[in-house]
Structure 1
Amino acid sequence: MTSLFARSGTHANASCEHGLLQHYLRQHGRGCMAYSTLQPGLEYFIDDKLGYLAYLPLRHPLLAPGRLHVVLGDPIAAVADYEALLDRYLKKTAAAATVFLEVNEDFASILSRRGFPVNELGVEWEIDLASFDSELKGPSFSHLRRWRNKALKEGVKVVEGSICALDQGELSALSADWLRRKGGHEFIGLNRPLALQDEPDVRYLWATQHGRLLSLAVFDPMYRNGKVIGYLHNVSRVLSDAPHGTNDLIVLEALSRFQREGRELLSLGLSPFALLEDGHYRGKPYLRRLFRFMFRHCPFVYPFEGNFFHKDKYRGRPLKVYLSSIPALNLYRVLGVFKALRVL
């Protein structure tokens, strides 16, 4: 058994490290954050017998005076190996503060049992494709029907293909228009940044109106035992003057395609700080209060309520996700997490 650290973009043993990441991702990358562990700027703790943890590193004189690792999502490993991989990581990184961000029930229960505080972070939305009504019948889908029909009436069409088939100037203009309205830069970590070239198993759908590019949606694969079982709707780009409902038309077209292919699920990703409850894990009450306050009163940081409202209209399953840290989070370390994610 060998444990090692690797930095995205380094050359030493790059081929071996990349092969290990790909192997474990394709076997155990079931979570909606799994494919995001391949984004640029991450570092890795890799155990060649168990799997890996991917994290954003931060050094900051005030927010991370030693070193802070922001681990993204669950371990990319078999659930039965989570605890062994955690033990080996902690042994190797005894000097580094670590925040485990957007982890699911299996890993959260291990962290709590080990005495680490665990707080609810929000919910991830999963749509069961086998049972989803793609015709959008009934009052619960009234918003989606209205948005879809409006876009269709205005002549919006959806195409799937290679991202390289798009006019790069038009794509860059679309992305710049979107980012200008979202703070001017890409967030990293919880959202995998848009890559302007095709990537393995990633799907690209876009919308046009009279030949003009209006919107792009990127769907990252989710794996089990070497097979793609579903997708995460990871990236959206839409022009400010696109007809209302354009992006929903893309997502609904993707749902129909994935249904016909026999995929299991579509994840809409995280709604941060949504549906927070006191929970059954021992967490930090001040964090629960902070997250609830941000959900209601901090749209200038992120449109928390709008994100929740929109994803809820697809009537998927809301799955609790959690945050934990070693040692326990203080305010400075919370700000350090925001800094690592480029929220600050």
Structure 2
Amino acid sequence: MFRLRSILQDIAIFLSVLMSLMSVAGIYLRHWRPFQAESFYNYVAPYGLMAHRLLAFTVGVLGLLVSVNLYRRVRSAWVLGMIGQSMLFALHLYYTGTVFSLFSLVSLFILLVLGVTAKDFRRVPKRRETWQALGLSLIPFGLALFNAILSLTFLRRDYAGTANFWLALKHSVRFLVLMDTQDAYFVSHMNFLYTVTLIAMSWISLIIAFILLLKPLVINPIVNGRERARVLSLVHEYGQNPMAYLALSKDKQYFFGEMTDGVIAYMVVNNVLVVCGDLICQEENAIVFMGEITRFAHKNGWKLLFLDITEKLRHVYEEFGFGLVKIGEDACIELANYDLKGKKAAKVRANINHARRLGIEVAEYQPLVHRDVAIEQAFQHISHEWFKQKGAELGFMLGDLALENPHNRRYFYAKDATGKPIALVVFVPYEKGQAYMADVTRRLSDAPNGTMEVIMFDAFTKMREDGVLWGNLGLCPLANIEGGQDNSMTTQLMQFIYENMNGVYGFKGLYQAKKKFAPTDWQERFIAYTPKPFGFSYAYAIIKAQNPKGINKLLLEKLRLKTGNRF
């Protein structure tokens, strides 16, 4: 069913591109083949012949932009596509007088496909740009209202149209949208400049609105693609923090050093610049780069907050007067001598044996070597079921499958005795590929006990054979923070949350789940912030950054899961 939907969408988008190209071609055909152009417009875009050929050209150009972003499954492009195809269908119906013309049927097919598969178009532009675009798109209607009022008052002497306000408003909308000055019903040529100016203002507003709506996926991909290539190079060279690879995720913005080669991946929440992990640069240049970052934040009036930083660059943050608070520990395993012998790993060993008796096997999927549609669809299905159980997907500090740009990620998955994939783990590299962290862990609800354990063990075994030195099970939030030297109010608050809000997040369960692997090293992780003290704005920024759908959505999801999906 998924493949059928995808095929129908691609056909509809291809037809939209074809219609748009033909509308654009008409204005050039008129210059080279004027007689054939008349027949062309009658068949392809009769509204371009009876209204204005520039209208058909403009509709074609905008249609191409919309079609490109429909292919990328952009939500705003879907809205514009539905509006545009509805208008085209109405125009064809109006000018041809029949619903059975070829291009009326094409528009109807596109409308049906887009309407039935609306949920597949989920990508959204920035909210601020959306509101700006909506505001600009209302300008033509404001101008139409303005013209209707002027036509019946100050310009009444030159106006030959109706005396009815609503009909005058209808005529105004028509001449502004269809670019036909005759529909303005002005008898004097002195008003020509006025009408052309209104038309120009209307279409300039609409074009800018389209650009704002489509900018995140027309201009930004080109810019971001170049930036991301540079970030990837810096991450490979200087990424000592397990979070470094998450800088490549699409929810990040980048600040590059000017005096030194470095980058941070960040987002802004209210007035707080939130950075994912440490600054990524050569350690010897960290002081210089931090100076650039603090000046950048100060110039924009932002506070600074680094999430999940390591001990290695702690001295840099202290040098600049940052407040530091321990937020947990990464459970790390030195792979050279790692095995599951001994009492500490007894439970993991038992679970792995149980899974193997049920025929569970582990395989590595290598999308850069060979793409397998069936496996990738299985991964998507596992993810969908996982989020139904666990709630909304988190972001910023957690990655995703990233199958379209896997880079050096490693994908290990478990399959049952029938060969069906039932769980997966995605590992991201750091320390120049000498270490890998389990970033994404997902499974089906009916996956047997021991499934995740057998993936982890087999994955780390394979990595050890490949020369990887460290395996990382990921962060245990708020673990062992009571034993540190810091006894500040912030640390005490973190400890209170760990002890009293375990039912909401499951801190203790996560810690125990990783502890049973008998990690050989627990590495401390911190947050760093400036200016001091740690306040509500920082706490809100931490939560908001990791919950892109909003804190209200997070609370509702937790409530729904705790009440057994009764809401």
Band the TM-score falls in, shorter-chain normalisation: 0.7 to 0.9
**Residue type at the aligned position of 1:294:** I
Instruction: Give the aligned partner of residue 44 of structure 1.
Output: 254
The aligned counterpart of 1:137 is 341
The separation in 1 between residues aligned to 2:266 and 2:398, in whole angstroms, is 13
1:86 aligns with 2:287: no
Q: Deviations over 1:19-47 (max 9, x none)?
A: 32122111111221111111111111111
The answer to whether the 8 Å contact 2:427/2:438 transfers is yes
2:480 alignment counterpart: 275
The residue number in structure 1 matching 2:38 is none
Matches within 5 A, 1:11-50: 11=221, 13-47=223-257, 49-50=260-261
Match of 1:121 in 2: 327
**Worse-superposed segment, 327-336 or 303-312:** 327-336
Determine the C-alpha separation between the residues in 1 that align with 2:460 and 2:375.
25
Q: CA deviation at 1:297?
A: 2.5
Dislocated runs of 4+, deviation >6 Å:
none
Partner SS for 1:254: helix
2:423 matched residue in structure 1: 215
Partner SS state of residue 322, structure 2: coil
User: 1:70: Cα distance to partner?
Assistant: 1.1
TM-aligned CA distance change 1:168 to 1:131, over 3 Å: closer
**Structure 2: how far apart are the matches of 1:335 and 1:13?**
30
Task: Give the percent of matched residue pairs that are identical in Structure 1 and Structure 2.
Answer: 25
Superposition pairs for residues 1-344 of structure 1, below 5 Å? 10-11=220-221, 13-47=223-257, 49-58=260-269, 64=270, 67-94=271-298, 95-133=301-339, 136-162=340-366, 164-165=371-372, 166-183=374-391, 185-197=392-404, 199-209=406-416, 210-224=418-432, 228-277=433-482, 279-280=484-485, 285-316=488-519, 317-328=521-532, 329-342=534-547, 344=551
Encode CA deviations 1:44-75: one digit per residue, 9 max, x unaligned. Answer: 111153211111222xxxxx3xx221111111
Deviation at 1:269?
Answer: 1.3
Report the CA distance between 1:90 and its aligned residue. 0.8
For the residue of structure 1 that corresponds to 2:437, the secondary structure is: strand
* In 2, Cα distance between equivalents of 1:186 and 1:82: 33
CA offset at residue 15 of structure 1?
5.0
Task: Please give the per-residue CA displacement for 1:206-236, whole angstroms capped at 9, x wherever unaligned.
Answer: 1111122210111111243xxx212111101
Asked if the contact 1:222–1:230 (Cα under 8 Å) also holds between the matched residues in 2, the reply is yes
Listed as ranges, the gaps of 5+ residues in structure 1 are: 1-6, 59-63
**Residue type matched to 1:106 in 2?**
K
CA deviations 1:122-172 (Å, max 9, x no partner) are 101221111212xx1111110110110111111111111235424444332
Alpha-carbon distance in structure 2 between the residues aligned to 1:78 and 1:70: 21
Question: 1:296: Cα distance to partner?
Answer: 2.3
- SS of 2:336 mapped into structure 1: coil
> What TM-score comes out, normalization by structure 1 length?
0.87
What is the distance in 2 between the residues matched to 1:287 and 1:18? 35
Q: Larger helix proportion, structure 1 or 2?
A: 2
Q: Secondary structure at the match of 2:513?
A: helix
2:435 counterpart letter in structure 1:
G
Greater mean deviation of Cα atoms: 246-255 or 331-340? 331-340
Alpha-carbon spacing, 1:196–1:297, altered in 2? closer, same or farther (3 Å): farther
The structure-2 alpha-carbon separation of the partners of 1:314 and 1:39, relative to structure 1 and needing over 3 Å to count, comes to same
Q: Report the residue type matching 1:57 in the other structure.
A: V
Which residue identity is paired with 2:309? V
* Contiguous gaps of at least 5 residues in structure 2: 1-215, 552-567
Query: For the structure 1 residues 341 and 206, does the alpha-carbon distance in structure 2 shift closer, same or farther, using more than 3 Å as the test?
Result: same
Residues 185-216 of structure 1, C-alpha deviations (whole Å, 9 max, x = no match)? 21112211232435111111111111222101
| CA shift for structure 1 position 293 | 2.1
1:91 CA displacement: 0.8
Determine the structure 2 residue equivalent to 1:61: none
SS where residue 217 of structure 1 aligns? strand
Task: Read off the aligned partner of 1:297 and give its amino acid letter.
Answer: N
Q: In structure 2, what is the Cα distance between the partners aligned to 1:178 and 1:137? A: 31
User: Per the alignment, in what secondary structure is the counterpart of residue 190 of structure 1?
Assistant: coil
Q: How many residues align?
A: 323
Deviation at 1:16, TM superposition (A): 4.2
Residues 92-116 of structure 1: CA distance to partner in whole angstroms, max 9, x if unpaired?
A: 2201112111111132232223322
| Greater Rg over alpha carbons, structure | 2
Q: Tell me which amino acid in the other structure corresponds to 2:250.
A: P
2:285 partner SS: helix
Indicate conservation of the 8 Å contact 2:309/2:527, yes or no: yes
- TM-score normalized by the length of structure 2: 0.54
SS of aligned partner of 1:259: helix
Matched AA of 1:41: D
Whether the 8 Å CA contact 2:410–2:426 is kept in 1: the answer is yes
Distance 1:223 1:92, change over 3 A: same
Q: In angstroms, what is the RMSD of aligned CA positions?
A: 2.1
* Structure 2 equivalent of residue 3 of structure 1: none
